[in-house]
Amino acid sequence: MSTQLSAGSTIETRCTRCKGILNHSIVAMVGEKIVRVECSTCHGVHAFHPVKVPKAPAVVKAGQKKAAAPRKAKADPEAAERAEWAELQPDMDSAQAIPYDMTRVYRLKNLLSHPNFGLGIVQLIIPPNKIDVLFQDGKKRLRCG
């Protein structure tokens, strides 16, 4: 976007009288260089003072703003668990599933069937008597023997 500037073009620059970055029209140029500008606000004609306008006005000072919206993706481990279950599901043979019984001892990767949660795979043994099981609805911590 190299817009060809010429006398009469509008450019944003500092006005010495208004003390702000304002639109000016170019009054005189020498070659590619702007030499005199007229402030569109006070109509004062003055020498052109190049300004370094920050290229990215979107940059917000750290801590000024809250970091966008609350993170959703990270706060949904259940979705990942459901996806994991769906991936394992084809290998689940309900005929082989062990009916869930809180007095029973389970081993890692055991397939069990729970009256409420359905088929699940034992993913973690937590001594002395807990197991983490991945069900269709996500991971559940169950009691075991």
Among the residue ranges 3-11, 40-48, 86-94, 135-143, the one whose residues contact Zn ion (CB under 5 A): 40-48
Q: What is the full DSSP assignment across 37-51?
A: EEETTT--EEE----
- Does residue 131 touch Zn ion according to CB under 5 A? no
- Kindly tell me which residue out of 7, 18, 45, 79 binds Zn ion, with binding defined by CB under 5 A: 18
Q: Residue 3 CB, nearest distance to Zn ion (Å)?
A: 22
Could you tell me the smallest distance in angstroms from the CB atom of residue 30 to Zn ion? Answer: 22
Does position 39 interact with Zn ion (CB under 5 A)? The reply is yes
Does residue 36 contact residue 45 with C-beta atoms inside 8 Å?
yes
The yes or no reply on residue 42 touching Zn ion (CB under 5 A) is yes
Stretch that binds Zn ion, among 35-43, 52-60, 94-102, 104-112 (CB under 5 A): 35-43
Q: What share of the chain is helix, strand, coil (3-state, %, to 5)?
A: 10, 35, 50
Q: Does 37 bind Zn ion (CB under 5 A)?
A: no
CB within 8 Å of 48: residues ≥ 6 apart:
11, 13, 24, 26, 34, 35, 36, 37
Tell me which H or E stretch contains 140.
strand 138-143
Q: Does 111 bind Zn ion (CB under 5 A)?
A: no
DSSP state of 64: T
Which residues of this chain interact with Zn ion, rule CB under 5 A? 15, 17-18, 39, 41-42
